[in-house]
Amino acid sequence: GVSIGHSLLSLYEVYGDERYIETAKEMAEFLTQDAQRFGNGIFQHTVNSETYNFPEQAWVDTMFMAGYFLLRIGVMLDREDYFEDGLRQYHGHEDFLQDPVTNLYYHGWDNIAGNHMSGVFWCRGNAWAAITMARALELVPVTHPSFMIIEGSLRDQLSALVRLQHESGLWHTITTDPQSPLETSGSAGIAAALLTKGRIYNKYTQKSIDGILSKITEDGTVTGVSAGTAVMKDTAGYRGVPDKRIQGWGQGLALTFLAEVLKIKSNPY
């Protein structure tokens, strides 16, 4: 429920209105004081619903929604406690979710069952992890021990993902399953992370520009975006997620990617 906190922080940066930062502070306090955790202080994935409960489950989405939010507000308010709690989320989710063989991120981890549930390397999940780590490296000092941990995780993940890029410039919704649909939002997030690493991935980012632009209609609708996706039971569940409607995360990740393209073009070095 704190994902909107990112918007509040950006609005505060632009307008300086105290209302925005006060509400964001309440969210940060909720996370640090009240949010459910397990293991070594890792946030349990929760949704605003009494119907759905995910005891001791870590989902990769949380890295972006809560972990990165705590880093941002920690820097903005010079609150080391928020900042370090954010880093704890990065390292904990890496430990639970990054596969040491493929270097890809699993969608989820069930700490009670001791398994990765679906065992799927979901495209948008890898995008959340990649863009989150890429942004963290802009906030974490190189002299902080966490910098090299995050940098290493991202480097290994991206080097695995570029090998799985489809010739269209997009990625499949299950990154390792060519039979699953190509998916625009995850592709945009992955490509945005690749862009932050610069020229080393130039060949892949050029392809992704063409692929993502081909999915944007004249009125700005980003198409081919999969609907909200729980950790499904199996690969068939991910293949069957509908992708015909406009989705906020599709528009948002495409904007993130296009903003990164413009940033690189205006400052190529």
Residues marked as catalytic: 61
Q: Which amino acid is at 33?
A: Q
Which residue's entry shows tokens 């692929």? 211
Instruction: State how far the alpha carbon of 66 is from the alpha carbons of 40, 48, 156, 251, 264, in Å.
Output: 16, 14, 23, 20, 27
Rg of the chain over all Cα atoms, to the nearest angstrom: 18
**CA dist list (Å): 1 to 8, 64, 164, 221:** 13, 12, 32, 25
Handedness of CA 161, 167, 172, 175 (dihedral sign): negative
Calculate the CA 156 to chain-centre distance: 16
Question: How far, in Å, CA of 101 to CA of 258, rounded?
Answer: 32
Q: Are strands 57-59 and 42-43 parallel, antiparallel or unpaired?
A: unpaired
d(CA 248, CA 99): 29
Beta bridge partners of 145: none
Instruction: Name the maximum alpha-carbon separation found in the chain.
Output: 50
Residue 217 CB: number of other CB atoms within 10 A? Answer: 9
With 0-12 CB in 10 A as exposed, 13-18 as middle and 19+ as buried, what is 112?
exposed
CB–CB of 243/228 below 8 Å? no
